[in-house]
Amino acid sequence: MTETVAGLLAAVAAAGPARTAVLVPETGRRLTYSELDRRSRQVAAGLAALGVEHGDRIALWLPNLPEALVLQFAAGRLGAVVVGVNTRFRSAELDAILAAAEPACLVMAQGFRDIDFAGILAETDRRPPLVVGVGSDVPEGAQPWSSLFDHGSLDAELGTAYDVCNLFSTSGSTGIPKLATHRQASVVAHARNDATAFAMGPDDVSLCALPLCGVFGFNAVMSALAAGSTVLLPAAFDAAEAAHAIDEHRVTHWHAADGMMRGVLDVAAAEGLSLRSWREGAYAAFAGGGPDLVREIEESVGARVTGVYGASEVFALLARWAREWDPDRRGVCGGIPVSPDLQVRAVHPESGEVLPHGEPGELQFRGYTVTSGYHGNPSATAAAFTPDGWYRSGDLGSTRDDGGFLYLSRLKDSLRLRGFLTDPAEIEVQLQQHPAVRLAQVVGVSGPDGSDVAVAFVELEPGAAATATSAELVDHCRRALANYKVPAAVHVVDEWPTVSGPNGVKIQKMRLRDRAAGLL
């Protein structure tokens, strides 16, 4: 039966109303499945009373709080659409996502990590009609979170399984975010399939320390809830706190970036903590992780961790390798899809010819997890799909005869900065807004810990060399961009390395990348 997100929660709550759905390790705060269901119905009624309607977008600019999950299910009940906003975003990025999504409501938490969310919002000139503040420090002009509980309960479902319920941002080629749409039926089906694929059940505890604004964190949480498991939800990741949480709360499942797992292993070894309850997990290779990390986890902890694959357009936890495989086979990125309804092929990037198994090409996907398009951007939607309906991932990889696939790298120049896929154009646009900068190019190089860092090259306006130092340009980026996007260095060039091609003269980013590696 095709399900809605509110229907999913209602079914799990009916099966185990007193089971703990969400536990905040820092405070001990708990919500049972019955409480999560009841509060989502109340918040749905409150949002409706304040003017939010079917199809409206609700932007969640929140850390990982239980309120974010309440809002997800409330929005589904209303037929509204959740737009995740990274708490690392600053004015330029927030302005861009508000312009693209045009939300009727923004829910924000003032003061998290001393961030002045209200001040950043004021710099954008795009305040949504309704702003809701979570926490005690409610911004001026915002409705307090508590006010959403003054309007009874919405028990009827206004949303349907075929309604869009989530938008996830992904970088566009111009630095303007695209918003990948996903329908309620897709969210529910994938949550249930992932719960099965990772053997999650009502007695399990899943550490969910990835941001909910991205598909990796979102899919991890939704699959745990679909299984009736307990979601251990820290507001943000800290290696020491995560290691203690796994030990104290007997965590059975944990999906994370490789650097996060490495940090937890180091803390546990230094402090003598037990991670032996950890049974299943998936990792994304953002910082040089691979079979060696998977082998170390299995030998020291016993957990069977698999490499995976994901993107905003196709969801995360899309595939996994068999748990009985050895770490060398299980530790690479890709996997066998978690459902036979998901298909992948590799095609020649230029000819579009479907390639035989084992031959690298562009990975293309078809199935229920694939986005239904980019919100408000028909041209980008058309460009993202082949004439026969496959999604073009822009990733290099190969297929296998068992239905699985191997991810190799990005075909384009996108960067992986602290685990976040980032288009260098976002940073280039910000640099070029400085009056002294004529042109900027940004590349990624491997930092000391194996993860990518951004390095910028700029051509200055004539006579501007004395007024635009590298430190000033770095600070210019820091004022408007998330910390992970701020370039590690900005270098001034007098002449760009170029090559002439059939489409004109192009700057050779590969040569800039080599130069950046030497300079860094």
* Residue 135, both tokens: 């926490």
Residue 60 belongs to domain spanning: 5-229
> What CATH number is associated with residue 424?
3.30.300.30
Q: Are 144 and 74 found together in one domain?
A: yes
Q: How does DSSP classify residue 48? A: H
β-bridge mates for residue 107, sequence order: 60, 132
**Per-residue H/E/C for 245-262:** HHHHHCCCEEEEEHHHHH
Task: Summarize the confidence of residues 238-266 as an average pLDDT.
Answer: 96
Q: How does DSSP classify residue 11? A: H
> What CATH number is associated with residue 274?
3.40.50.980
Q: Are 203 and 250 found together in one domain?
A: no
Q: Check: CB of residue 107 under 8 Å from CB of residue 75.
A: no
Determine the Cα–Cα distance for residues 351 and 346; give it in Å rounded to an integer. 12
Q: In the predicted model, is pLDDT for residue 411 greater than 90? A: no
Q: Check: CB of residue 251 under 8 Å from CB of residue 205.
A: yes
Q: Are 190 and 158 found together in one domain?
A: yes
More confident residue, 272 or 174: 272
More confident residue, 448 or 132: 132
Give how many domains the chain has, as a whole number.
4
Determine the Cα–Cα distance for residues 58 and 165; give it in Å rounded to an integer. 10
Look at residue 374 and give its three-state secondary structure: strand
Q: In the predicted model, is pLDDT for residue 128 greater than 70? A: yes
> What CATH number is associated with residue 28?
3.40.50.12780
Q: How much is the pLDDT for 446?
A: 83
* Residue 462, both tokens: 């004539």
Q: Are 382 and 488 found together in one domain?
A: no
Task: Write the single-letter amino acid at 4.
Answer: T
Mean pLDDT lowest among 211-215, 328-332, 341-345, 405-409: 405-409
Q: Are 241 and 368 found together in one domain?
A: no
Q: How much is the pLDDT for 421?
A: 61
DSSP H stretches of helix in 115-257: 117-122, 184-197, 215-226, 239-249
Q: Check: CB of residue 392 under 8 Å from CB of residue 364.
A: yes
Determine the Cα–Cα distance for residues 81 and 14; give it in Å rounded to an integer. 25
Neighbour count for residue 167 (Cβ, 10 Å): 27
Pick the last residue of a domain from 313, 338, 363.
Answer: 338
Q: Are 215 and 313 found together in one domain?
A: no
Q: Are 447 and 464 found together in one domain?
A: yes
Q: How much is the pLDDT for 16?
A: 98
Q: Are 331 and 258 found together in one domain?
A: yes
Q: Are 262 and 380 found together in one domain?
A: no
Task: Summarize the confidence of residues 501-519 as an average pLDDT.
Answer: 75
Q: Are 110 and 246 found together in one domain?
A: no
Q: Are 250 and 197 found together in one domain?
A: no
Q: Which of 12, 15, 14, 80 is nearest to 46 (CA)?
A: 80
Determine the Cα–Cα distance for residues 342 and 264; give it in Å rounded to an integer. 33
> What CATH number is associated with residue 357?
2.30.38.10
β-bridge mates for residue 311, sequence order: 315
Question: Cα-flanking dihedrals φ and ψ of residue 30, to 5°?
Answer: -130, 150
Neighbour count for residue 467 (Cβ, 10 Å): 12
Q: Which of 98, 91, 82, 86 is nearest to 121 (CA)?
A: 91
Pick the last residue of a domain from 410, 437, 469.
Answer: 410
Pick the last residue of a domain from 338, 356, 391.
Answer: 338
Q: Are 162 and 299 found together in one domain?
A: no
Give the distance, in angstroms, between the CA of residue 356 and the centroid of all CA atoms in the same chain.
Answer: 31
